[in-house]
Amino acid sequence: MTVESLLSVLADGKFHSGEQLGETLGVSRTAVWKQIKKVEGLGLVLESVKGKGYCIRGGLDLLSRSAIQSGLASEARDLLGDFLVLGTVDSTNTVATDGAQGDVIVAEQQTAGRGRRGRQWQSPFASNIYLSLVWEFAGGAAALEGLSLAVGVAVVDALAACSLGGVALKWPNDVLVDGRKLAGVLLEMSGDAAGPCKVIVGVGLNVNMPAAPAIDQPWVDVNTLAMGTVSRNQLVIALLNQLLPLLSHYERSGFASIRERWLALNAFQGEQVFVTLGDEVIVGHMAGVDGSGALLLDTVSGRRVFNGGEVSLRRVTSGA
Ligand code: BTN
């Protein structure tokens, strides 16, 4: 018996006695008890009441490989490679480094989730979405400028398909609602600048974040915005329905065809912002992005252009 099989029974939020769990899962009560300890180790709150057994209050919304696969639109299904739905991993982007074209990895938990600029990405169990997708491009990394912004637009479209609106993008690809971070995108590329290269597209989406995670910026999750529970499987379906076709068309169509949409979603358009580039802090007005997705900043000494990488952007008046 694995901890996953125990969780699939406890996911209904009801009480199950040790004896009943042992019978359902075909193992001894001692084996059940050992797995119960592992459940607690995942950071889940397990209630134990004498005479009633064990229960996870409110139940769990677990990822289901079959539910996701059968919910995909036909274009996404045709583009999907190997599809892994995992329990605990260090980072889905790390697992994806061994992957090939169209492979997708989702996990219930990451122990070393990575954010942009060396930050950690909080990844508690069965709470949010941690998804990585592998795509191979023949034309080299240079042809992929703007891809990370395009991924942000695809995430916004996926959220809209789940009836979540009011979403904006902070350059290059933070997904915000009212200045609070809902999702983040981390692209990692390997291979040739001019020839074949492989891109791992990592998306982290806050869905049902437990109280008080250690996040050093304003954040929000899907369930708070929806004022109810949105199925994580539906959210993964919506993300894959947008991301797989985007990646398959991107090399041909590039960022230019998506630029107007990105600008319409720009959280800071025309606002006074500051850009941090290493030790340098530059203040100016956010003038949008160019045809390759580079940030345009109007400063007192003229227009400056910034590419992705280690640049960070902040609104002058708020913490977002
Ligand atoms: C950001 O800092 O905004 C980017 C966050 C990206 C997080 C996702 S979760 C899935 C994938 N695996 C990781 O370790 N990081 C990305």
> pTM of the predicted model, to two decimals?
0.94
**Catalytic sites, residue numbers:** 116, 181, 314
**What 3-state DSSP class applies to 105?**
strand
204 lines ligand 1 (CB under 6 A): yes
> Which stretch of DSSP H or E encloses residue 269?
none
pLDDT at 319: 47
For atom 15 of ligand 1, the residue with the nearest CA is 114
For atom 7 of ligand 1, the residue with the nearest CA is 204
Cα dihedral sign, 127-132-227-172: positive
Say how many C-beta atoms besides its own lie within 10 A of residue 88's C-beta.
16
173-208 confidence digits (pLDDT tens): 899 999 999 999 999 998 887 788 999 999 999 999
Ligand 1 centroid from CA 191, angstroms: 20
Supply angle C-alpha 220, 226, 232, rounded to 5: 80
219 lines ligand 1 (CB under 6 A): no
Asked if 239 contacts 131 with a C-beta cutoff of 8 angstroms, the reply is: yes
Calpha distance 103→81 (Å, rounded)? 4
Ligand 1 centroid from CA 185, angstroms: 6
pLDDT at 41: 86
pLDDT at 10: 94
Nearest atom, ligand 1, residue 131 CA: 10
59-74 confidence digits (pLDDT tens): 999 999 999 999 999 9
Nearest atom, ligand 1, residue 115 CA: 2
The CA–CA distances, whole Å, from 215 to 84, 123, 188, 308 equal: 28, 11, 22, 22
Calpha distance 295→87 (Å, rounded)? 37
Residues of the chain with pLDDT under 50: 319-320
